[in-house]
Structure 1
Amino acid sequence: MESAKEIDLKELLKIFARKWWLILILTGSGLVSAYLLTTFLVTPTYEAKTVLYIGQEDTGLGTIGISLGQLQADSQLIIDYKQLALTRLVINEVAKNTGLKITEDDSGSRSWVIGKGFQEDPMTMTYKDFQKNTVIQTVENSRLFTVGFIHSDPQMAQIVADELAKQLTLAVLEVVGVQNIRILDQAVVPQKPVAPNKLQNGLVGGILGFMLAMIIITMRFLLNDTINDEADIESLIGVSVLGDIPEFKGEAR
């Protein structure tokens, strides 16, 4: 049984150096392809944010002397309020006031467009999609937090973010029985998308192209059974080569 070809790392590196053009072509092709696919096939999404403040009930915004314990308690409240914002109670009210259609599954989010086939309806989404696109974050060492929403339409992202913040304040009053959050800043229409990241996707495509080039070159090296020198003969038949017959110029064969 023939033994598997051993990998000569030094020889393999030399082959990598000789095949630099293949590595360059596949790396560049992967980078450009991923960038173009991201540009033309992936729908950009935008995020709009409102800024809210958590304070003590019946106190003004100018309250001073906030302790670390109070900040920690407010952080816990924000976690509770985040879960409240993701409930159907809040989502249904937001949908009713913004024109969104919320469904249990994604069967109603696709519609037939003549000449284009099935297209996603940006005004229809599932509860899970709405929850996934809702972003609630705390502002470190403060009582401020943001309520954001991600959507393919920047104006709709702004409308939903504002309505979501409004409905959250109403739900806190209705469910918790306190009125301790206030809207400080309304959302503005975002100008730049938050996704996709064209540069990052392009780099990933370039890395995949580079890896593909490495795999192709390595496999060709391993599958190449051409005898190039004495070392290949010794490895193949297991017998040392005693000498070789030089070839003279002009010698007839």
Structure 2
Amino acid sequence: MVLNTSTTGSEDRSLQSSDQVKEIDLLEIGRAIWDKFWFVVLLTLIGAALAFGITNFLIHPTYRSSFTVYVNNHSSNSENQVNSLNSGDTAASQTLAQTYASILKSRPVVEDAMDRISMNAAYDDIVDDITTEVDTDSQLVTLDVTMKSAKEARNLARAIARVSPKYIANIVEGSSMKIVSSPILADKPYSPSIPKNTAIGAIIGFLLAVVIVVIRHLSDDRIKSVEELEAKFGFSVIGTIPNFDEAANNKGKKNYGYYYAASNKTK
């Protein structure tokens, strides 16, 4: 019974010692990163500079033009007026909005719009540049056109907004749509975002530098101090001898190498 108690106490001390070693290792890693602070900063700046250069000079910017329509499951009394809706009509219109979104970017609508602005392109080549989004909390459908030319994006979005009502009226009888916001000419690129990509590049550079420092630190098994020798091997240092060969190669420097003379601790 006494032996079991003693063993448990020994295990507790072993766990405490293990926790202490882990804490010391974390501190050492922190010191290693701090000692290579210049290296971390350098790689962070290089990552940011590379991301900025690639984004600014190698990636062609794209521009977006959009319009939003109001969906009504009743036909309009006039071009600019929509009948009033009750709660049941609103629910039906929200369901109908999904159909509108598909029709707005369908081949007949887009090809008719391209013909109106004399755009020399195939539907299959630009269909991925046209996206629609349905607001599930309302009766609104938004169509976005994203292209390398801001003017072409605006012109195509405007043409789709003009030709789509007649297609929708013929396909979905007894319904209508009203333009809420018209396409405008984009004055700045939609993508890529130079600040965002630069920040991502800086983060990647920082993480890469930290990983390199930590790996080099963990793979270096040299003893660098008396405290480390005692902590790792339980040796008691009884004296030090200067490393004259290293000192000769580092004349004028304060940090000379040392040989350590150590012995096992006696119980």
TM range (shorter): 0.7 to 0.9
CA distance in structure 1 between the aligned counterparts of 2:87 and 2:189, rounded to whole angstroms? 36
Deviates more, 1:180-189 or 1:217-226: 180-189
Partner amino acid, structure 1, of 2:239? I
Deviates more, 1:205-214 or 1:147-156: 147-156
CA distance in structure 2 between the aligned counterparts of 1:212 and 1:93, rounded to whole angstroms? 51
Deviates more, 1:154-163 or 1:79-88: 79-88
CA distance in structure 1 between the aligned counterparts of 2:164 and 2:36, rounded to whole angstroms? 61
Once the two structures are TM-superposed, the CA of residue 234 in structure 1 deviates from its matched residue by 6.4
Once the two structures are TM-superposed, the CA of residue 184 in structure 1 deviates from its matched residue by 4.8
Residue of structure 2 aligned with 1:72, choices 85, 91, 101:
91
Residue of structure 1 aligned with 2:235, choices 229, 236, 241:
241
CA distance in structure 2 between the aligned counterparts of 1:211 and 1:51, rounded to whole angstroms? 42
Could you tell me which residue of structure 1 aligns to residue 121 of structure 2?
Answer: 101
Once the two structures are TM-superposed, the CA of residue 244 in structure 1 deviates from its matched residue by 2.5
Partner amino acid, structure 1, of 2:164? L
CA distance in structure 2 between the aligned counterparts of 1:166 and 1:172, rounded to whole angstroms? 11
CA distance in structure 2 between the aligned counterparts of 1:160 and 1:195, rounded to whole angstroms? 19
Once the two structures are TM-superposed, the CA of residue 82 in structure 1 deviates from its matched residue by 1.0
- The 5 A counterparts of 1:217-228 are 217-228=213-224
Pairing 1:57–2:51 present: no
Once the two structures are TM-superposed, the CA of residue 19 in structure 1 deviates from its matched residue by 1.1
Could you tell me which residue of structure 2 aligns to residue 201 of structure 1?
Answer: 197
Q: Which has the higher helix share?
A: 2
Deviations 1:43-72 (CA, angstroms, capped at 9, x unpaired): 1111112232323214352644x3343323
CA distance in structure 1 between the aligned counterparts of 2:98 and 2:87, rounded to whole angstroms? 17
Pairing 1:37–2:57 present: no
Pairing 1:135–2:131 present: yes
Once the two structures are TM-superposed, the CA of residue 187 in structure 1 deviates from its matched residue by 1.7
CA distance in structure 1 between the aligned counterparts of 2:228 and 2:182, rounded to whole angstroms? 74
Contact 2:94 2:136 in 1 (8 A): no
Deviations 1:77-110 (CA, angstroms, capped at 9, x unpaired): 1211111223222233233333141165xxxxxx
Q: How many residues align?
A: 218
In structure 2, the CA distance between the partners of 1:140 and 1:35, relative to structure 1 (3 Å rule), is: same
In structure 2, the CA distance between the partners of 1:9 and 1:141, relative to structure 1 (3 Å rule), is: closer
Could you tell me which residue of structure 1 aligns to residue 40 of structure 2?
Answer: 23
CA distance in structure 2 between the aligned counterparts of 1:140 and 1:76, rounded to whole angstroms? 9
Partner amino acid, structure 2, of 1:95? M
Partner amino acid, structure 2, of 1:20? F
Once the two structures are TM-superposed, the CA of residue 195 in structure 1 deviates from its matched residue by 0.9
CA distance in structure 2 between the aligned counterparts of 1:208 and 1:184, rounded to whole angstroms? 42
Partner amino acid, structure 1, of 2:191? A
Partner amino acid, structure 2, of 1:85? L
Pairing 1:168–2:172 present: no
Once the two structures are TM-superposed, the CA of residue 172 in structure 1 deviates from its matched residue by 1.1
Q: Name which one, 1 or 2, has greater alpha-carbon Rg.
A: 2
RMSD of equivalent CA atoms: 2.9
Could you tell me which residue of structure 1 aligns to residue 110 of structure 2?
Answer: 91
